[in-house]
Structure 1
Amino acid sequence: MSQVTSPVTPRVLRNPVIRGFAPDPSMVRVGDWYYVATSSFEWYPTIPVHRSRDLAHWEYAGHVRGAVPGDSLAGVPDSGGVWAPSLSWDGERFWVVYSVVRSVGTPYFDLDTYVSTASHVAGKWTAPRRVASHGFDPALFHEDGRLWLLNMQSDHRPGGQRFAGIVMTELNRETLSRVGDTHLLLQHERLVEGPKLLRHGGWYHLALAEGGTGFEHGVRVARSRTLTGPYELDSRPLLTSRDDPSVPLQKAGHAELVETPDGGWVLSHLTARPLRTPHGPRCTLGRETAIQTVVWDADGWPRLGHGGWHPAVKVEVGGRGGCREGVGLGGGVPAPEEAHEPYVPEPSEPSEVLAWPWSTLRSYADASWADTTTRPGWIRLRGRHGPESRWAQSLLAQRITEHRAKAQVTVEARPRTFTQAAGLVLWYCAKSYLSLDLTWAEPEGEAQRGQQWRGGGHTVLSLVERDEEGARQAAVVEVDARTPVTLGVTVEGAEARFWFVRDPDRDADGDGVRVPVGPPLDFSRLSDDYGSRLRFTGAMAGIHARDLVDASFTADFSGFRLTCVPD
């Protein structure tokens, strides 16, 4: 039965709707709520989920806790980890399927695909269960009580196609074991991945990510009268910006079609906002989440509501009208009661340090290295491995969401050796970061030979830039470590300028004198598009500490602020 409500004035959303490192969005509607799950890669919390009632305003709604068996991604390479989760709703519970990828840039992705379910996105998710792992970017399709797993398949053999088509396997809903044969749905000379399946107008429609996830990215739709195919490709893309570098939203692709309560259709997709640099376009904010409206043409193919195939920045979306049933989309099904409440971390979460928007690398922060109770109002980090470790970094960071940003924090620490350091970091990966750290240096005029055990020496601020050529010290400034020091960085487009505050008590307004540290540095290297290897995340700002000898050095941080200014 349809439920009719009063019409609501259309709203204009501004893309991206989830800004800064929110790639591979998978969107589902449950009652009046829309939910989007995004990739987390090597970062925790795993699989962030956002929600919205109006498609324009989104809020963090929780994450898929325990997505990785053993709750550790130790050893996973940069841009490995949790790839492309697909979120669905079967009328009773949420399902998520995703791959944990442990090799990047090799013919073997060395991945495992898992399924987990929950009654509420912020609630308890079931322990992940492994399913058929043909390749990454899996999805689930629910129909008439049956469950199907879609995937791309990879052929690692010499001469094989790394992207060798889209396959589908029926799963037993209870055991998740295979039922029958695996079906090859489609192969295409252009790279296709990220399959999402829905039924509309008597057709099964297969939305495919096409052309890779860079500037060549796009969305192509295929359809069939029968579930197992054969599938016919549309003659033109549904969405792409690869043919016009002047389009503000680039890399448009990896999409999912969803029906709205009033019978309209929208498309969630990833996109990026490149900076124009002398080295070409670079996307420091990573890939983000955007939404477009969709209509169906006379031949039954989906088309962008504003025409063409380029993504729009401003999109008009309709009001919340009648609630009509849609196949596998949760239409007409009420949302879980708890979904209307603000997200609150469960008491069993390891540490308040991890409250969103904080993230950490490859494992949860816990009391062993991140502590908020010993010194109220401060975060205490115990130093562990260095910044290029894949195992035990002590780092907490937040997503940078705009091309203009400022981060600052006050740090108190007493480094006694060059193996100890703590400070403010702009982070992309182990080969792309900028950091301003309190550390130790030899006495003035003494050679850099590590004679810290002799005593002497002094505390300095060391500004380091790391790129594919290695790490370089851009500046060293001696500071007084007897009192806390405030560190900061200002990002303007492709440029980052670091600074610290000197003598705050002597300044009339109490803010202190901002002292530049080193020259402007190239922030655009902290992007998806710098370097020779695949990169999939986004720039972050945060705090970190290291102690390479015995992991006993601690540093206290307070007043961390990240301010991002929209264009």
Structure 2
Amino acid sequence: MKIQNPVLHGFNADPSMLRVGDTYYIANSTFEWFPGVRLHESKDLVHWNLLPSPLSTTTLLDMKGNPSSGGIWAPDLTYADGKFWLIHTDVKITEGAFKDMTNYLTTADDIRGPWSDPIAVNGVGFDASLFHDDDGRKYLVQQTWDHREYHHPFDGITLTEFDTTTMQLKPHTARTIYTGTDVKLVEGPHLYKINGFYYLFAAQGGTVYTHEEVVARSKTLDALTFESEPDGPFITNFDTPRLGIQKQGHGALVNTPSGDEWYYASLCGRPWHHENESFTDPRGWCTLGRETSIQKVEWDDEGWPRVVGGHGGQMEVDAPKDAILTDAPANGDQHDEFDTPELNGEWNTLRVPFDDKMGAFGDGKLTLIGQRSLASEFDVSMIARRWQAFNFDAETKVKFDPYTYQQMAGLTNFYNDKNWSFVFITWDEKKGHVIEVAENDRNNYTSYLKDDAIQIPEDTEYVWFKVKARTQSYTYEYSFDGETWHEIPVELDAAHLSDDYILQEYGGFFTGAFVGLAAVDYSGYKQPAEFDYFDYKELD
């Protein structure tokens, strides 16, 4: 078998990989999307199945008011003492001098839960991970944030002992163990003990095209005793611009059950280019966000880990010799008839779980109750799923009876509150019920049809909407019978839903494009919209 990179398509960033027995697990960041932390499992590193998210209630995760790309940053999943340990960071500020955050710990005997109520451990910095030493002691390893304008904000990697009796840190044991190299922005640490050395894996260079992972080691956990790997970095694509995956760096190391083979899971991005653009500047547009790749690792004669094939990695990697074939979906296709009383695991909501304020299920339909606009960070009635292919079709069937232009319902493609588009039913004073296409581009709102909004015949009960994404652009279509489709003459630039485009204006650029269903009623009258089904089909 071969590992085909990326192994997790679409927004699956900051992987923390773990093996327990013959099963591998990956935990990924979810940022402002609910539920928190995305989990997958596999026995062959090739085929992966989605597991229930561990942070699925507001008791476990409260993100009300979090900014876009705040929330869950870089979860760390470990296994020790017969249970799973999950460290996760909830970031409350993304812009400016401060990164107010809290690091939490939750545990479970079974990966599928239930998970314990979270324990707040500190707010020193993000990307925290838990290291279980072989003498029974435990340590929190984390990026350290410095708000002072005359210091670099990434103030090295801090190690703090964790007391398992009180389930709290010992603050006075904190020490800086590594400050990175001159690339700066050292973050995402994971610590391992292998053959008598403590190995520290850490990301640098920012989670963009300069991203990289460095390795340092020490015989002790004393302050500033870690030396960097010679001839590093461990992994980067900064100097391999033509490889199909870019941005590799932040990730985690694992060995196989035999102990003879080693693998490294990393975030990565797959950029594309407009036809009139240079291939290297801009490096490209990653509409699928940061995904997960897996590279094979070997150890050199001096005991340093090296990526097989060079530090740029490979698109195709040999699977473990002792891999157990895993049955998993071949792609991300999804068809949902809304005939169960809860959301399919691929669906996400913003900041809070789906509840009766947002909508309800019944008679094979999903009802969304109109709330605030898609530009809001509060009370948004939207369910959405990741773009997991550059080329796909998604469609739905909606029944909606608006009586003011402040009411809208339909199909959306969404990056964050400032960047999204929407095809929807609304009210026009001259035409009555109409179809409009709008885009919020860096918080500049544009109605594309205006006086040419498509009038809906009076006897029409349902309207069908479809989006066709074709790598560089996407378009919307509508139908009044579900059979005859009409393309709306508006072609939208898919780059506007990419990490790289968002980065040009906003520091929170960590997620990826989503497609979903939404109902808006900012008049406050809570007009409901009824969705009959949703279908997502990949064409790649």
TM-score by length of 2: 0.91
Q: Displacement, 1:68?
A: 5.8
Of the three residues 187, 204, 209, the one matched with 1:193 is 187
Of the three residues 361, 366, 377, the one matched with 1:372 is 361
Q: How far does the alpha carbon of each residue in 1:56-91 deviate from its partner, in whole angstroms, 9 at most, with x for none?
A: 000111111257657431211111111110000004
Equivalents in 2 of 1:121, 1:462: separation in Å? 44
Bigger shift: 262-271 or 173-182? 173-182
Aligned counterpart, 1:140? 130
Aligned counterpart, 1:442? 429
Q: Displacement, 1:321?
A: 7.3
**Does residue 441 of structure 2 align to residue 467 of structure 1?**
yes
* SS class of match (2:499): coil
Of the three residues 144, 156, 181, the one matched with 1:165 is 156
Give the percent of matched residue pairs that are identical in Structure 1 and Structure 2: 34
Runs (5+) with no aligned partner, structure 1: 1-10, 323-350, 444-456, 505-510
Of the three residues 85, 88, 93, the one matched with 2:83 is 93
Of the three residues 523, 533, 537, the one matched with 2:506 is 533
Aligned counterpart, 1:325? none
Equivalents in 1 of 2:26, 2:213: separation in Å? 18
Q: Displacement, 1:408?
A: 0.4
Contact 1:400–1:541 (8 Å) recurs in 2: yes
Equivalents in 1 of 2:270, 2:432: separation in Å? 43
Query: What letter matches 1:113 in structure 2?
Result: N
Contact 1:33–1:51 (8 Å) recurs in 2: yes
Q: How far does the alpha carbon of each residue in 1:185-218 deviate from its partner, in whole angstroms, 9 at most, with x for none?
A: 0113322100000011221100011111011111
Q: How far does the alpha carbon of each residue in 1:433-470 deviate from its partner, in whole angstroms, 9 at most, with x for none?
A: 11100000111xxxxxxxxxxxxx51011100111160
Equivalents in 2 of 1:128, 1:109: separation in Å? 20
Q: Displacement, 1:145?
A: 1.8
**Does residue 225 of structure 2 align to residue 248 of structure 1?**
no
Equivalents in 1 of 2:108, 2:60: separation in Å? 19
Q: 1:66 to 1:377 in 2, by over 3 A?
A: closer
Equivalents in 2 of 1:352, 1:163: separation in Å? 45
Query: What letter matches 2:290 in structure 1?
Result: R
1:254-333 mapped onto 2 (5 Å cutoff): 254-263=250-259, 264-277=261-274, 278=276, 280=282, 281-305=284-308, 307-320=309-322
Aligned counterpart, 2:343? 354
Query: What letter matches 1:497 in structure 2?
Result: T
Equivalents in 2 of 1:554, 1:422: separation in Å? 9
Q: 1:398 to 1:66 in 2, by over 3 A?
A: closer
Q: Displacement, 1:242?
A: 0.9
Bigger shift: 483-492 or 526-535? 526-535
Equivalents in 2 of 1:67, 1:82: separation in Å? 14
Of the three residues 167, 174, 178, the one matched with 2:165 is 174
1:406-485 mapped onto 2 (5 Å cutoff): 406-443=393-430, 457-468=431-442, 470-475=444-449, 476-480=453-457, 482-485=460-463
Equivalents in 2 of 1:44, 1:321: separation in Å? 32
Q: 1:193 to 1:317 in 2, by over 3 A?
A: same
Aligned counterpart, 1:517? 488
Query: What letter matches 1:169 in structure 2?
Result: T
**Does residue 35 of structure 2 align to residue 51 of structure 1?**
no
Query: What letter matches 2:531 in structure 1?
Result: F
Q: 1:195 to 1:68 in 2, by over 3 A?
A: farther
Q: How far does the alpha carbon of each residue in 1:350-381 deviate from its partner, in whole angstroms, 9 at most, with x for none?
A: x94433101000100012222112xx211100
Equivalents in 1 of 2:198, 2:18: separation in Å? 17
1:73-92 mapped onto 2 (5 Å cutoff): 73-92=63-82
Equivalents in 2 of 1:419, 1:132: separation in Å? 43
Equivalents in 1 of 2:145, 2:59: separation in Å? 23
Q: How far does the alpha carbon of each residue in 1:218-256 deviate from its partner, in whole angstroms, 9 at most, with x for none?
A: 110000011235000112111110112211100101021
Of the three residues 131, 134, 146, the one matched with 1:155 is 146
Aligned counterpart, 1:223? 217
Aligned counterpart, 2:332? none
**What is the CA RMSD across the aligned residues, in angstroms?**
1.6
Aligned counterpart, 1:393? 380
Aligned counterpart, 1:547? 521
Aligned counterpart, 1:126? 116
Contact 2:368–2:518 (8 Å) recurs in 1: yes
* SS class of match (1:275): coil
**Does residue 22 of structure 2 align to residue 27 of structure 1?**
no
Aligned counterpart, 1:451? none
Q: How far does the alpha carbon of each residue in 1:21-62 deviate from its partner, in whole angstroms, 9 at most, with x for none?
A: 000010100011101110010001110111001000001111
Q: How many residues align?
A: 505
Contact 1:222–1:234 (8 Å) recurs in 2: yes
| Larger radius of gyration between Structure 1 and Structure 2 | 1
Aligned counterpart, 1:214? 208
Q: 1:301 to 1:470 in 2, by over 3 A?
A: same
Equivalents in 2 of 1:487, 1:223: separation in Å? 55
Q: Displacement, 1:120?
A: 1.2
Q: How far does the alpha carbon of each residue in 1:157-203 deviate from its partner, in whole angstroms, 9 at most, with x for none?
A: 12111101001000111322233410110113322100000011221
Query: What letter matches 1:294 in structure 2?
Result: V
* SS class of match (1:88): strand
Equivalents in 1 of 2:77, 2:27: separation in Å? 6
Equivalents in 2 of 1:385, 1:70: separation in Å? 25
Of the three residues 54, 60, 80, the one matched with 1:64 is 54
Query: What letter matches 1:533 in structure 2?
Result: Y
Query: What letter matches 1:165 in structure 2?
Result: G
Query: What letter matches 1:204 in structure 2?
Result: Y
Q: Displacement, 1:134?
A: 1.1
Equivalents in 1 of 2:57, 2:364: separation in Å? 30
Contact 1:140–1:149 (8 Å) recurs in 2: yes
Contact 1:101–1:110 (8 Å) recurs in 2: yes
Contact 1:262–1:321 (8 Å) recurs in 2: no
Q: Displacement, 1:13?
A: 1.2
* SS class of match (1:276): coil
Q: 1:68 to 1:157 in 2, by over 3 A?
A: farther
